Every structure is written in C-alpha cells, then in structure tokens.
Amino acid sequence: MEIRHFFERRELRLRKKRIVMMLCCIAVLVAVYVIITWPEKKAPDVPLVSVEPVGVEDVEIYGDYVGRVRAQQFVEVRARVEGFLERMSFEEGTYVKKNQVLFVIDQRQYRAKVDKARAQLRKDSALVLKTKRDLDRIRPLFEQNAASRLDLDNATAAYETAVASMGMSRADLDQAEQELSYTYVRSPISGYISERLVDLGTLVGTGGKSLLATVVKSDTVLVDFSMTALDYLRSKERNIILGRQDSSRSWQPFVTITLADNSVYPYKGLVDFAEPQVSPKTGTFSVRAEMPNPDHVLLPGQFTKVHALLDVRENATVVPQKALIIEKGGAYIYVMRRDSTTERRFIELGPEFGNKVVVERGLAPGETIISEGYHKLTPGMKVRVAPKRKNKLRAKAR
C-alpha cells in the first residue's frame, strides 16, 4: 500500500510539473508573438519639397497696345490755278517721283498772260532807254546853263518812272510765268499716289475742286498707340522719359508689331515721341514709333498689335510664379532655412514676365525658396528636399 501511495504521489508531482512547463511555454509563445506583432513607433513624417535659389536676371518689361499705322508723309496734290483739266500723266496706285508731272491744266489763258507781260516789259524797257538818253542830253546842257533846273528835274523823274514801270512789268512777267508753271501739277514728294479724285475736263482750281489726288511716302511709317497715365507714372518712377532716347541707358524703347495674320513684323521701330498731356476724355496719351517699311508690307490706316519695351530691370530679383501663394493679406512664399525648416515670407511683387515674377521687396538673391510641395506646410516645419529629376535620369542611365 505504501508503495502504491508513493507512485501516486510521484505521478501527481510530475503532472504538476508538466502543467507548469506547459503554462510557461504558452507564456513564452504569447510573449514572443506579442513582441513580433507589436507595432513599431513611426518616425514623424517629414514633407518632401522641391527648392530652388532666388534668381537674379535682367528683366525686360513689355506692354501690349493697339496701334494704327500712318504714313510718314501724307501730301495732298491740289490745283493752284483755275482751269480745265486736260491731261493725267500717271497710273493710279503707282510710285511717283518728286516733281514728276501728274496733271496738266489748260494753259492758253496763262500763256496769253505771259505774252502780254513780256510785251509790256519790252515796252517799258524801251521807255527806260529813251528817258535815259533824254536825261543824258539834258544834264550837260544844265551844266552849261543851256537848260533849266525844271528841264533836268522832269527828265530825271521821267527816267525814274520808266525804271519803276519796267520793274513792275518784270514782276508781272514773273507772276504770269509762275501761274503758267502751275498748270503743270507736280508731285511734291516721292511716294505712292492714290486714284485721281477728278475727271478730265473738270474745272479745277479757285472756283472748282482743287484736290486732285494724294501722295503717301511709306518707306518709313509711323505707328500711333495710346498709353495710360499709370504707364507714365511707372516710367517716371524709373526715371524713364517716354519718347526720348537716353545714351546713358543700355537699351532703347523699341517696339515690335503683330500683323493681321498673327505674324510678327520682322523690323523693329523706335519710340520717338510721346504726347506731353493726357486726354481728359480717355485718360491716355498718344505715343508714336517710327518703323522701317522697305517692302511696303505696312499700309497707312492699318491696325496692329504693338509690343513695346517699357523698361529693363537690371539685376532684378526673380522667382517662379508657381512658388507664390496669394491671399487676401498679400503674397507670400516659403523660404527654407539652413536647418531645413520653413519660414513664411511676405513679399512685394513687381511685373510678371513669362512664368516668373519680379520681387521688389522681401527676398534676397541666393536664398532658397520652396517651389513645389508647400501646400501642407506651416512655418517652422522641417522639410526634406526632393532629388532633382536630372540626377534620377542620370542614375537610371548608369
């Protein structure tokens, strides 16, 4: 019996040990499982951004306006004497030279006036010769007391009167010859002539229609456009006087124009005049540019788009427009400090050009700005700089 109790107690102890060992194994397994499956603490998420340095460029500032082309010279051809139009000596719309005969007016009455004035001049010349001979005869007789003072005075007066009459006749002849020359209506300038405005046989001149045609010189044309008072104030802030060339500047106010087919005219013009006052009706002032037109592509009266160089900002601070954030309080940009933290910087914007903008105040050249990935940033946040695409492409190529 004692042996039986001994074995029963021993078996009971072994069972207890087995149970304890099983519990320990289960506890170890549970602990290992918990350790393996326990979630790791994530490091704080640092935003990935693209950066670039603040640039410095010479920025050309342009303005776009609507312009109108006009001829450098536009001259009316008018009849200066009265008469019937007899002949036209040109083809309409063609190029004519200066002093080329364009029209001929009936000359008969003017030739008669010339002949009459010439005959009167010959008559007065003969009278001058006669009175001169009479005076030459009277003078020695007067010196010999063979003629009276009255005879000498009469001879002298007759001679001087004859000389004066001859001068008047010569002036009448010059006037008659000038009127005769006006019967040949000549072109005052070289250029392209319009169609005739009167028909042959029409009475032209003083009592009739005097405008016969027009001639335009368009080898060089003028382009007129209007600028606002704000444009003027901005130019004054930069000490730029519109319409004047300044030899101290490295640039001049050139303009380019766009034609009706949206092609850019190959030649550039130069602004040479600006109206010294603003129109109270429109709030604008007129500006003129002179432009070469050797191929006569530009026609007077034609409307064009004017692209005018207004200013050149030398060494201007520029940033890409995509880096700007504009809100009611103003425009600002995120700047990355040396410790990779961000700073919100309010800036004063200048003119835009292309996909960039000039910064007047708030940034210094060489500072690093965040150009992409700034939408979820807050001031003071730590950021990481994304690798540039070029470096990735080079790595793939290798």
Tokens representing 123 are 């008559």
Contact 139, 152 (CB under 8 A): yes
Whole-number percent of the chain with pLDDT over 70: 88
Instruction: Give the mean pLDDT of 187-211.
Output: 89
Identify the pLDDT of residue 100: 94
> pLDDT for 313-359, tens place per residue?
888 888 898 888 888 878 889 998 888 888 888 988 888 888 888 88
> pLDDT for 290-319, tens place per residue?
999 988 899 888 999 999 888 888 888 888
pLDDT confidence tier of residue 398, bands split at 50, 70 and 90: very low
Strand, coil or helix: 268: coil
State how far Cα 161 lies from the chain centre.
Answer: 66
| Residue 349 to residue 360: CA distance in whole angstroms | 6
Tokens representing 271 are 């602004």
Would you tell me how many other CB atoms lie within 10 Å of the CB of residue 249? 13
Identify the pLDDT of residue 184: 95
List beta partners, residue 327. 330
> Which letter, b or e, does each residue of 32-66 get, where b requires 16 or more Cβ atoms within 10 Å of its Cβ?
eeeeeeeeeeeeeeebebbbeebeeeebebebebe
| Residue 173 to residue 165: CA distance in whole angstroms | 12
Q: If you average pLDDT over every residue of the chain, what do you get? A: 85
Instruction: Give the mean pLDDT of 99-120.
Output: 94
pTM for this prediction: 0.64
| Residue 59 to residue 62: CA distance in whole angstroms | 10
In the Cβ-directed half-sphere of 268, how many Cα atoms lie within 13 Å?
9
Residue 14's contacts (CB-CB under 8 Å, 6 or more residues apart) are none
> pLDDT for 53-103, tens place per residue?
888 888 888 888 999 999 988 999 999 999 999 999 999 989 999 999 999
> pLDDT for 170-197, tens place per residue?
999 999 999 999 999 999 999 999 999 9
Contact 334, 319 (CB under 8 A): no
| Residue 392 to residue 389: CA distance in whole angstroms | 5
pLDDT confidence tier of residue 392, bands split at 50, 70 and 90: very low
Instruction: Give the mean pLDDT of 142-151.
Output: 84
- CA nearest neighbour of 52 among 350, 319, 315: 319
